[in-house]
Structure 1
Amino acid sequence: MGAADQFDGLQQPKQQPGPPLQILSVPAHGAPSQSPHPQQQPPQQQTTHKQQPAPQQPLSQHQSQQRSVKRPRPVKSCTECRKRKLRCDRLCPCSQCQKSNRACRYAADADGQPDSDASDVEVPEPGRPPKRNCPPGNTPSATSIAGDPSTIATAVAAAKNGDASGLPLLEELSLRMERLEKQVMRSPAATDLSVSRVNAATADTIRGLSVKNGAKRTRFFGQGSSRVMLNLFDDAKAFIHQHQSIAGGRQVLSDFRAAHHFIHENWTKALAPISVYVDSMMPIQKRMSDILPPKDVCDRLIASYVDSSETIYRILHIPSFMDQYNMYWSGRQQFPHFLPQLLAVLSTASRFETKSKGILHERADGVHNPTSCALVRSWLDSLKGKQRVEFESLQVEVLLLHAQRMVTQRTNELWAQVGYIVRNAMSMGLHRDPLEFGPRITVFQGELRRRLWFTIMDIDVHLSIALNMPTSMREGDFTCRPPRNLDDAELFEGMRELPPSKPIDQITDNQLQVYGAMTLPVRMKVAYLVNNIDSIRDYQEVLDVGMKLDRFLEDINYLFPRQGILNDTQKSKMWRSRVILDMHARRPLLALYRSLAMGTPDAPSQITRAHLRSSMVILKYLDEIDPRQPYFEIITAMYHQMLKHDITQAALSVCYYIQAAHRSSENMMGSYQRQSPEWGGDDYPLYTPESLSIWSPERMIGTVEKALEILTRHASGNDTKDLLTLTLVLETVRKPEPRTDDIVHGLYSVLDLLLRSSNTTLEKVRAAPQSTFRPDGYIHGHAQMSNPAVAAQQYGGWLIWDGWD
């Protein structure tokens, strides 16, 4: 019986007498699911359909005489077991009825009515006890046991007097109590979480809307946005509203704003495509071939792409792609879709494997990502009619989306683009399983369609959860089956049938995607719950989904163990695989618990601890990698690029718990004065909230500082706003009573590191032409600036962002 039924039973004691005893029993294996309280049937209706009511008794006797060759088979099983064709042990009550909480009844011994057309001859089975007669109405049912204390007292007294008639009742009670204890131990929080109403955070800490230009320009922000999470920290908001009256406050915010515009403009220039390729009148295929680097560079970048990107997102069939790749360099004719695919692959790999990071015009060791993406987009836009529903064209769309993720600052644009890709894939029938279309779709093409469909679904769920948006599809909207755990070499054109799928713990080219497909329905459920968090009435559904995600996280450590790997390259690959899968389950878990764990005065400890734990795990991923290894910088850059929004959200979440620890008169989350164990002994996929070691505020501060340093060293584009928010929040929660001069000093420290990472100085930033800046929205032109409450109301509490977009 599922957890949902357990919680329902605990909430409705009046409808189900004796709920603990009724709910915790497990139906017999192979038996159909039964209601905890089966309706009591009249005695004449409890036999099989061949038994007739009393007025028709002469007709029954006449039929019995016509079958004189057979003797009536004595009834030895209880009526419930006979109806369900179960093996009955003939006890009273029998084990089958005990398991299913049914009233166990036997037909009377004197009843000679035949109950079945089976053979009359029955050989006594050795070892089976004789039937114990239980007259109808006298059998102690589960309801009578739970609700009548006198029955229990009578049974106990009978046992003390040596009467064996009360022993079955006591045995049943003992078994039921044992099952109850086991269930309570497995679900320690069920009773106290399911009965209480969900208290989600206030609306301004869950979502927000930026309204500008007379409400003609609006933008929605979800619960993971730094703008929204800033509303959880009153001291940080007060610093912003009162910055003009704080010594150094106005200047440090002005310097941050100038640095933001300086870095953002340089980033915008770097992302501009090279016009000589984009605006040329040459054929698109010629322009794409001209931008390619030498073959040895392409070989290295393709190997890097296959190793790092074709993991949970399976887009290409690598053997087929490499065949076309070799044909291209040998001068033979290739398919028209190959060059767009190759250029998108090289763009993705150049982001991490080149000194230019794919954004500088120097292309000796890679390609320029913006130019490549622009050329691929031009090729896609040039397709006509039927070409748009080619499978290879859809592959190019997904590859382009993946390449744009490497450099774009607008996640909402990617979310809108993946919505188009989902509908395009549906128009091609990818949402239906290939077997539904018979032999017209080959076995090979069918498996590639499954892989690409689940890749598209995975990207859609990931972006939807990140933006607090609904997914394009829900569970049940598609029938496409998950792909099999097979190597690419096992799939080829002309194959007649698919090989059996390998066990999930066996490493293959498709292992990560297969595991991701297993978790996809639960992650889709998270996206739905997060978007409807205001309408959830109790914690039952949230806890059910959260426990499923916890189990997925536990499995990951068994699939990718940390021990027994001696090769550094294998350690790096194993770490990357473990982090990819861990984030795909941990990111939804954080989103699910975020509005329940933060911003509510009485958040359940189970949810709060799990949320804090997952936030710390994200910030400590890199602790498993030796910084002396030559690939450490590449991994750090990849960690930042792919998870920087998750890192920022996790760091702000940890700051919330630092603030809570300081403000609580007594430790609300456990004895945080104890120093928690070192990370080396912290096996993060394996934990229970009850045994969780809570980190001290000092250690949490150190963890956030390390994450802030990584974010600052690799900052680009619009990252300055998130850095300012995180730094301001950290400085206001660092001490129970923050001082304004300490806050200003902390802000300047991060600003200095940011400028050094950008190869500039504060003097250059301040000397930048003012004409390129927009009007200073939070220093000039606001009459209500002297009244922080009015200003906060007018600008939605985001006064700092006005003029930054």
Structure 2
Amino acid sequence: MLTFSHLSADSFESHLKAGRKRPRVREAVSCWQCRTRKIRCDREAPCKQCQDRGVPNDCHYTNSRDRLSAQPRSPRPSKKASPAPSRTPSRTPSRSPAPTSGPVQTPVQQIHTPPDSSSSSRGETPEPSSDIQVPQEPLHALRGNAFQGSACKTRIIGLSHWMAPCNDMTVVKAMLDRSTEFYASRKAFSELKAVIRARNVIHTIPTPAASVGASSLRALLPHGDECESWMAQYFRTYGRIYSVVEADVLTRELERIRAGTLDNPVHISKILMVAAIAMQQDETQRLRGRQLARAVEDAVHAYSRFQKPCIGVVQVLLLLIILKTIAASDTDKMYELLALQGLVTQIVSSMGLHRDPALFSEVTPYYAEVRKRLWASFLRLNLDYCLRSGTQFSLRLDESDCSLPTPTVLRRLDPEMVNSPYEMESDKQYEADMAFNIAAVKLVKIIAPAYQALYSAHPPDSYQLQKNIRASFSALLSDLPLHLRGSTTFDPVQELQQSLLSIPMHSFLSILAVGSTMGTRTDDSQRSQLMGIWDDASAVLHQFQRLTKHTQETNAMACHFLWSDAGRAALTACLIVGKLRRLDHDRIIRHPQHTVCVFQQMLTNTLSNLSTFWHGKFHLGPVAAKLNLILAVILNVTMNLASGDYHPDTIQQILFDDGVATADRLIADMKAALQPQPRLQPPSISVELVTTPSSADPSPDSAVFTTWPADSMAFLTTGPPSNASSAASSPFLEFLAMDFSPALSFSSLQSNLNFSNGGYLEDPTLSPLTPLTPLTPMTSFNDHPSMDSIWE
């Protein structure tokens, strides 16, 4: 008998007997045991009936997919022939809601996965849908990473890569994306890179046969007092950043090597690597240092002594990683660290440096402390490599129970060690440097889990992740000693230590925030988030500029360790100010807010200073030349947007023409600067935004680099400055338009960062003349990554 319950849309079928009504096939929602016994089921997993009978494991539910694909009922079913469900694997046990060890489904796989029968709690048949609705991305979701490659290779480049913001910059992206407009520039730049590589080629040092062993390495040691001089310079600079070797131990080993009582290639390699790293601060000796490092690296693969995991081998490998990281600031070849990172990871794992030293028998307090410091240095170098290269951090910190190192002076833990006549620092300074190393490890343990979440198959909510990270950073800052909180100091290396703690915090926060704003249309709801990104980027630029104005030693170290953060911050600042200008353009009343105009002035002056800085370093390697070129292009486009009132239909082509003209002229001038010159001096370019040449002739001591004449700077502008607000009406605003004052710098930057509201500006329209909290190096915290560029 047909009732009204059968009159549904699914009960009419035109292809069967002219639309004859038939009973609806109801979906079974009870478990198999309750259906067999014909009792009421509460549809739990397991149900109460099966629990009362003591058979919770037999409580099964039929898979909905199998039911949908089952054959239709017979028109006249027999009352006695009720089909008993067969025990097939399609029945899912009641324990299925527990997490399984299978692969995690991607959002696309979850769309095509049939729904579980437990979701149909009322017995409704799920209606088929021809159009699959893809779930919308949440507002603060992080974009995925870029998977690039071909049929034979694949490369993932993450949000942390310093060129990631270029994907939202039309002119720079076209320059890096093999566009036809930049074809001539790309060809000329390839020729320039060939010249730069030829001038910085590292020749293999001729040594005796490999079978000689340690004697070939001993012959490479600097003679006389030169070796002690390089060692002293290392422990005054890089040795205070990474605690890998001790000055007293290295001095005693050098004395034994010269006396002939120590002939181990591992100990000789440590001294060679310390000298090689110290040579990187001198442009005339840096290639010599890399030659020594290459000889040590060849020895690592040739001598059997390096195949045995021990403390000395780990120290040599960590020093090699430090030197290759420094060299990458010139070459950008972080991939050269792949084999070395894999080797040191395996040795560290086999030695158990990640475990508590107390678990190992016969480990003295001295070597227990050494193991802790080596593990801490390895963590820092590994995370730094992942952040620079944009790759995943694969170490699992939850499997490590090694405690943090202590600021204890090591020679106090070993009774056999006496005070060496070679002392680089007092015990007080030693403990202060160790406090920095401990704080750096704590910072790694905060950043690493969040960085791993960025590369997971299901990235977390960006807003909540930033909130947690800011809270962790605030807790870390509150525990820092006073000399690391940003207090005034007369020690340049100590100021560098402050920046090495502060800049990674700001950089990582900008990485998280930019990942949720790139590739999306900017709306007014993102203004506060854009302000927060600007605060982080400007803090990085301000600190980097201040570090480069110190001594030559700290200048070189800042460039070696922080060049990628500075490049990322410059590109991010351009991107953010461009988005803010676009928000002003989309308003009904089009006029730039005063805050954005101030940001524009600061950014232009900062780009000018950074361009001048890298103009003096482009000859050191391809990455310095590439960064020099990118900064010049974005500076040129920024200034040209402010120099005239362009029509919206022609603005894009004008900006492309300006970018091409800048690239062509700069590449030609860099080529000319690399030509042989009468005087022996580092070939470079010094650029200042001036309208008339200086009347005073520089002294021979101060004139280190060649200087462009005033007429050669004509390519930086296309016309006289005009009203900056006229460019705000242009729809194509990848870069900002402004009138800038050369006297304005980031040192006058004012910010009202408030941690209670996430660290963003409380009032975006606040006038900079309002007294606010000045930005300090340690400001309190309360994916489209770049393409695999052919210009690398």
TM-score bin (small chain)? 0.5 to 0.7
Counterpart CA distance in 2 for 1:728 and 1:380 is 43
| Residues 204 and 294 in structure 2, CA contact (< 8 A), matched pair in contact too | yes
Give the 3 Å change call, closer, same or farther, for CA 236–309 of structure 1 in structure 2.
closer
Q: Deviations over 1:693-743 (max 9, x none)?
A: x94212212212222332332133331444444443443444274544433
Q: Secondary structure of the equivalent of 1:291?
A: coil
Aligned pair 1:233/2:169, yes or no?
yes
> Mean alpha-carbon deviation: is it higher for 220-229 or for 316-325?
220-229
1:284 matched to 2:213? The reply is yes
Name the counterpart of 2:90: none
Retained in 1: the 8 A contact 2:143–2:516? no
Residues 507 and 598 of structure 1, relative CA distance in 2, 3 Å threshold? farther
**Which residue is 2:192 aligned to?**
259
The yes-or-no answer on 1:710 pairing with 2:613 is yes
Q: CA deviation at 1:334?
A: 5.3
Q: Which amino acid aligns with 2:196?
A: I
Give the counterpart of 1:583 among 490, 500, 503: 503
Match of 2:384 in 1: 462
- The yes-or-no answer on 1:308 pairing with 2:237 is yes
**How much does 1:224 deviate?**
3.9
Greater RCO between the two (CA within 8 Å, min separation 6)?
A: 2
- C-alpha RMSD of matched pairs (Å): 3.9
Q: TM-score, normalised by structure 2?
A: 0.59
Q: How does 1:43-82 map to 2 (within 5 A)?
A: none
Letter in 2 for 1:461: L
Deviation readout 1:432-491 (Å, 9 max, x if unpaired)? 1111224x1111111110110111111111111222322232231111111112233433
Instruction: Report what 1:530 is aligned to.
Output: 454
CA contact (8 A) 1:549 1:589 kept: no
Q: Which residue of structure 2 aligns with residue 743 of structure 1?
A: 659
Residues 713 and 754 of structure 1 are in contact (CA less than 8 Å); yes or no, is this contact kept in structure 2?
no
CA contact (8 A) 2:321 2:381 kept: no
SS in 2 for 1:219: strand
Match of 2:645 in 1: none
- Give per-residue Cα distances to partners, 1:5-29, cap 9 Å, x unaligned: xxxxxxxxxxxxxxxxxxxxxxxxx
3-state SS, counterpart of residue 225 of structure 2:
helix
Judge conservation of contact 1:552–1:585 (CA < 8 Å) in 2: no
1:392 corresponds to which letter in structure 2? G
Helix, strand or coil for the counterpart of 1:407? helix
Q: Distance in 2 between matches of 1:459 and 1:703?
A: 29
Match of 1:542 among 463, 466, 481: 466
Distance 2:433 2:365 in 1: 18
- Counterpart-to-counterpart distance in 2, 1:798 and 1:575: 31
Aligned to 2:190, what secondary structure does the other structure show?
helix
Report the secondary structure of 1:356's partner residue: coil
1:212-237 Cα offsets, whole Å, 9 max, x none, are xxx22443322244664322112444
Q: Which amino acid aligns with 1:399?
A: L
Of 276, 290, 294, the residue aligned with 1:347 is 276
Uncovered stretches (5+) of structure 1, i.e. residues with no partner: 1-195, 360-367, 496-502, 677-693, 765-795
Deviation at 1:286, TM superposition (A): 2.0
**Map of 2:636 onto structure 1:** 731
Matched to 1:358, the amino acid is R
Contact 1:526 / 1:588 at 8 angstroms: preserved in 2?
A: no
User: Could you tell me which residue of structure 2 aligns to residue 199 of structure 1?
Assistant: 140
Q: Tell me the CA shift for residue 273 of structure 1.
A: 1.7
- The residue number in structure 1 matching 2:340 is 417
Paired with 2:486 and 2:614, the residues of 1 have a C-alpha distance of: 26
User: How far 1:392 moved relative to its partner?
Assistant: 1.1
Q: What is the deviation of 1:672?
A: 7.7
**3-state DSSP of counterpart to 1:302:** helix
Q: TM-score with structure 1 length normalisation?
A: 0.58
Q: Whole-Å Cα distance in 1 between the matches of residues 267 and 255 of structure 2? A: 11
Of all paired residues, the percent bearing the same amino acid is 17
1:474 aligns with 2:396: yes
1:356 to 269, 280, 284: 284
Task: Indicate which of 333, 344, 349 corresponds to 2:262.
Answer: 333
Q: Which residue of structure 2 lines up, in the alignment, with residue 395 of structure 1?
A: 315
Contact 2:274–2:319 (CA<8 Å) still a contact in 1?
yes
Aligned length: 524
Matched, 1:647 2:586: no
Q: Is the 8 A contact 1:640 1:710 kept in 2?
A: no
Cα deviation, residue 645, structure 1: 2.0
Aligned-pair CA distance for 1:393: 1.4
Selected match of 1:658 from 577, 591, 598: 577
Which of 576, 585, 596 does residue 516 from structure 2 map onto? 596
Which of residues 364, 372, 375 is equivalent to 1:453? 375
2-side partners of 1:455 and 1:524: how far apart?
A: 14
The one-letter amino acid paired with 2:195 is F
Aligned mate of 1:701, from 604, 613, 630: 604
In 1: Cα distance, 2:336 partner to 2:163 partner: 18
Question: Among residues 188, 191, 202, which one is paired with 1:271 in the alignment?
Answer: 202
* Alpha-carbon distance, 1:675 to partner: 7.2
Equivalent-residue separation in structure 2 for 1:443 and 1:287 (angstroms): 35
Matches within 5 A, 1:494-533: 507-532=431-456
* Aligned-partner SS, 1:510: helix
- Give the SS at the match of 1:479: coil
